Structure 1
């Protein structure tokens, strides 16, 4: 009898208003439901039925130009990269089934790290299973309780999550504001551990950080510097080493974080460094120690791609031409662009609001063009963006076709005047 009463009491307690842990997402759920109720196709549930090349895929049964991937250097279908992956798959199997500190380090992992060290001219390299994990692991391990992390307010989610995991004190400053960064550093106790985190290219607007000035200020106040070059590796800088190389500070930063999921064309993340104690990270970095390592086929494709990017000057030049052409063309059509001049392979087209941004996104998809619909809170200043990510494999003719598609779609939905 008492058991039955206890069960009833528990049921009443549950029905009486136990907090739904999903309630924190109600605003996002409502926004999504309102958007879909208007008849717009779900912009975050696109399926590519078949990928034809780095720049084209079949989406919803339609041959579609891809302008919303991070395949900046077009390495996903490079014959040498594919052959390396196939050979590693045949020689080593489909996965390692273990962590890097146990059974998960194969010859290919070492060769991939060697390729990174050669590419950046650095003493040490660590490969992670994702780029997100690279930031999460490195930041949380080197900046802990009592330390201060000074970062750009527009930093990537993985950077913020790394700070939170390490329990460091987060000190944000206004985006790309050199003076604001210095003011924050001045207020930190002189004897405290300090890490300044910057990005070479910021992914939403595609704008570049003033690293030369910022790194100098960081060093002036005794801070270590970490630069995330995820969106600049491969095509910015004489050798494709990113904004650090372009602005002449690659030897002054302490850590460079990057990813394989963009210019390298596969998946994974990494950190390179010249710090003499860096190798201890392999034993103390939890996201590295407690994660299964990348499959042999993945590190083989990454290593091959990285070595080819060392000699990618022609591709880099063509990508820059594509960026300049698209940026000017969109401005001439009357679109509002996130940067005054092209600074990277990312061109952000600013939309009036989420509803009209989604309508424009759908209109472009029906034209046969895929771009990213980026919305708050991921975007700066609550902007809705159509983010265009160019590829070195886009032909000059494709870029002109893209501009024609933007013009027709813009006029059809009222973003441009007819």
Structure 2
């Protein structure tokens, strides 16, 4: 080895170069320090000391209403769901210690995939360890180098990461703009593989995609369609299958992605499809093949929850009533909301800036209410939002209490 190479390997040489791999995060570090310097509690480090129910927890020693948990159908404390998890834990142990293609497929994994097939009335279901992995795995495997992915610019980070991992050409279009989507599709070379990726409900503003029109345009241009229904499964559509069901396009959608960490009430992700070749994905999808499978207790709780969601029409109706009441009440109080009318179980309250948003978040928490503080770059158009996620287990009186807390906090901070 030459003296020059040896010198290049010395720590002092690397240190002299001044390369700090954390320097790219300096703007975020400074923003956080500025925010905490005002004396506001860190909104991204909240600890729930005890969870009492789907709608209440003890935070900072105080009982708090939960309005930011994505627990849309309130299944986390369902007695049947909990009992199924306990039984699987006793019968099969704490974990599988293996991949689904090795020793990591237990009977429970097959059962939950069958529950998904029955719930969506589709031929194939594939379960991942998280919803993030479901998007990462399916998108990166289906669309590779030389293919094109046309997607809404407000798509979730996991969708973008799946695009990047698969090395396909990414073609974004303006949010929920049908005309812009079609313009992008017209520019794609003839013969290229095309995947259009949409979401049923977009998680920041809680708005719904015009799936009926968008799916029709995609099919006209020979594209396959993937719809992420993470925030609509369980309560939108007659059977809770999501916006695709509500729009009447289930038969035209090639892949539906979803998660267990919202309406299902546990953790995991999935994809359902009617494509006749779909089962080969189990051998070619790296995020599925090279990761440990979900623990038996988790798939048991998910399976039980999914079976019950198919019969949860009363809970869906109550959740919609909650959404309408909260949306209308906040609007009447003078808050600026992300949608003109309630479109989902997510209601976004738009803040003037991050400082005001953080102050409002803290005031709500001190008043006994937890919501999500969402900030750029995660939010569209660099907005700061207070994101409210309603639950089917919120009572009418809790919704009224939420409105009262919002009114008091909004006046104290100067938002209304």
TM-score norm. by structure 2 comes to 0.98
Instruction: Say whether the 8 Å CA contact 2:185–2:221 is kept in structure 1.
Output: yes
Aligned to 1:297: 297
Map 1:27-176 onto structure 2 (within 5 A).
Answer: 27-176=27-176
Distance 2:177 2:248 in 1: 19
Distance 2:10 2:299 in 1: 52
Instruction: Say whether the 8 Å CA contact 2:347–2:388 is kept in structure 1.
Output: yes
Cα distance 1:202–1:7, how it changes in 2: closer, same or farther (>3 A)?
A: same
Distance 1:84 1:108 in 2: 11
Distance 1:331 1:11 in 2: 60
Offset at residue 16 of structure 1 (A): 1.8
Instruction: Say whether the 8 Å CA contact 2:112–2:303 is kept in structure 1.
Output: yes
Instruction: Say whether the 8 Å CA contact 2:227–2:255 is kept in structure 1.
Output: yes
Residues 29-80 of structure 1: per-residue CA shift (max 9 Å, x gap): 0000000011000000000000000000000000000000010000000000
SS for the counterpart of 1:86 is: helix
Cα distance 1:8–1:297, how it changes in 2: closer, same or farther (>3 A)?
A: closer
SS for the counterpart of 1:339 is: coil
After superposing on structure 2, the runs of 4+ consecutive aligned residues of structure 1 that deviate more than 4 Å are 5-9
Aligned to 1:14: 14
Distance 2:224 2:65 in 1: 42
Distance 1:352 1:62 in 2: 28
Residues 170-213 of structure 1: per-residue CA shift (max 9 Å, x gap): 00000000000000000001200000000000000000000000
Offset at residue 7 of structure 1 (A): 6.5
SS for the counterpart of 1:239 is: coil
Distance 2:284 2:174 in 1: 32
Unaligned runs of 5+ in 2: none
Map 1:330-409 onto structure 2 (within 5 A).
Answer: 330-409=330-409
Residues 373-409 of structure 1: per-residue CA shift (max 9 Å, x gap): 0000000000000000000000000000000000000
Map 1:175-324 onto structure 2 (within 5 A).
Answer: 175-324=175-324
Distance 1:89 1:12 in 2: 52
Distance 1:130 1:246 in 2: 25
Instruction: Say whether the 8 Å CA contact 2:8–2:14 is kept in structure 1.
Output: no
The alignment of Structure 1 onto Structure 2 pairs a total of residues equal to 414
Offset at residue 233 of structure 1 (A): 0.0
Distance 2:415 2:220 in 1: 47
Residues 325-348 of structure 1: per-residue CA shift (max 9 Å, x gap): 000000000000000000000000
Cα distance 1:188–1:36, how it changes in 2: closer, same or farther (>3 A)?
A: same
SS for the counterpart of 1:251 is: helix
Offset at residue 13 of structure 1 (A): 1.8
Cα distance 1:408–1:276, how it changes in 2: closer, same or farther (>3 A)?
A: same
SS for the counterpart of 1:16 is: helix
Offset at residue 9 of structure 1 (A): 8.4
Distance 1:23 1:17 in 2: 13
Distance 1:109 1:408 in 2: 47
Offset at residue 14 of structure 1 (A): 2.6
Distance 1:273 1:415 in 2: 46
Distance 1:128 1:6 in 2: 46
